[in-house]
Amino acid sequence: MNKKIRYVCACANGLFKVRGSRFEVQTSSLDFYPRLNSYYHPGQERAAKVHELFGKIAPRYDLMNDLQSFGLHRYWKRRLVRLAAPMPGLRALDVCCGTGDLALALARGGAEVVGVDFSERMLEVAKSKVQSPKSVQSPKSKVQSPEPQAQRQTAEVRGQRTEDRGQRSEDRDQRSEDAESTAAAFPSRFTFHASRSAFHVSRASPPTFMQADAQSLPFPENTFDIVTVGYGLRNLERWEAGLSEMQRVAKPGARLLVLDFGKPDNALWRWIYFRYLALFIPVLGRVFCGDAAAYAYILESLKHFPAQRGIEEKMQDLGLTNVKTINILGGIMGINFGLKRA
């Protein structure tokens, strides 16, 4: 812990100075983190470096998302899922699925979901999130209790617990039946909420996760009704190829959605946002992942990415209709939406 504190203090010492009664940013020190960054390599080395990066941060990826966004990334992902409007009977593909947050959310809507990513470590985390039935069998103890009275009391307590669990199970079944009857009686806008809870009781199919290259998806044309990507296009060697592949595998009329870091139009707000990415995020990466460069990569990759405006133009070039851009928090995040022409 002392090393982490010394690291933060050293960073602060290099980035700030006191002049009289004023506390000023040393703008010349803003290049400190880019020099640490060994993961951004444009060209043919890009894929290998990004693969190394995500393999390293996979165990702490979700924690870092919560810390750097103050938990807001969950709201942004829910907003994308609402726009995707998953429902039973639809097939959805989540490209660059990472640890599976979006894929799981789409599955809760009732859609049949496939999540693809090229990082094995990220997929391992995603697969661990898929709910699996818990075994109800308990191993038999080979140790005999020396006190029969205590053994009988233990058996009685276990029996009571079993009865309690059975009663709770019956209550859950009854609530599930009530939810289904309520969903049938009310308009379709209530169906989404019913299907979300349905996934938790294992009535909706969990996502299927598989390793694949987003720039060359292993699916035929016109396969999916919904195609999403969250924080993934920016990491591709050729992000345009990734978006083209999403359009190729989408059915006519399918919804395509992209969520990623954005570039605010307001110059002052962009400056503040980029300073946050340059100064604060790498410190979090160093403290919680042991690697500042892994999270300095975010700003470096964003500088070379056209963000929401470029994605909007590419969607239009691909012939998508109803193309829209939703700026979140003044444009620090962006959601791009488009429909494949029927």
Q: How far is CA 202 from CA 196, 197, 198, 199, in A?
A: 10, 9, 6, 5
Across 111-145, b (16+ Cβ under 10 Å) vs e yields bbbbbbbbbebbbebbbeeeeeeeeeeeeeeeeee
Selection from 303, 291, 277, 305 nearest residue 37 by Cα: 291
Cα(321)–Cα(271) distance, integer angstroms: 33
Whole-model pTM over 0.75: no
CB-based contacts of 126: which residues, under 8 Å, 6+ apart? Answer: 97, 98, 99, 100, 103, 115, 117, 207, 209
Quick one: pLDDT at residue 197? 33
Cβ neighbours for 247, distance < 8 A, ≥ 6 positions apart:
227, 256, 318, 319, 320, 340
The Cα–Cα gap between 236 and 216 comes to 11
| Residue 201 backbone phi and psi in degrees, to 5 | -105, 20
Residue 46 pLDDT: 85
Average pLDDT per consecutive 10 residues, the chain (342 residues; last block may be shorter): 48 45 42 55 82 94 96 97 97 98 96 97 96 38 41 52 54 46 33 35 77 97 98 95 98 98 97 96 93 92 95 97 98 98 90
Alpha-carbon distance of 187 to 175, in angstroms, equals 19
Q: In whole angstroms, what is the distance from residue 273 CA to residue 266 CA?
A: 10
The string over 264-286, giving b where at least 16 C-beta atoms fall within 10 Å of a residue's C-beta and e elsewhere, is beeeeebeebbeebbbebbbbbb
Residue ranges covered by each domain of the chain: 34-129+192-339
- How far apart CA 20 and CA 30 sit, in angstroms, is 22
pLDDT of residue 163: 56
* Range 34-129+192-339 has CATH code 3.40.50.150: yes
Q: Where are the beta strands (DSSP E) in 147-232?
A: 208-211, 224-230
Host H or E run for residue 25: strand 22-25
Q: What is the pLDDT of residue 60?
A: 95
**SS3 category, 208:** strand
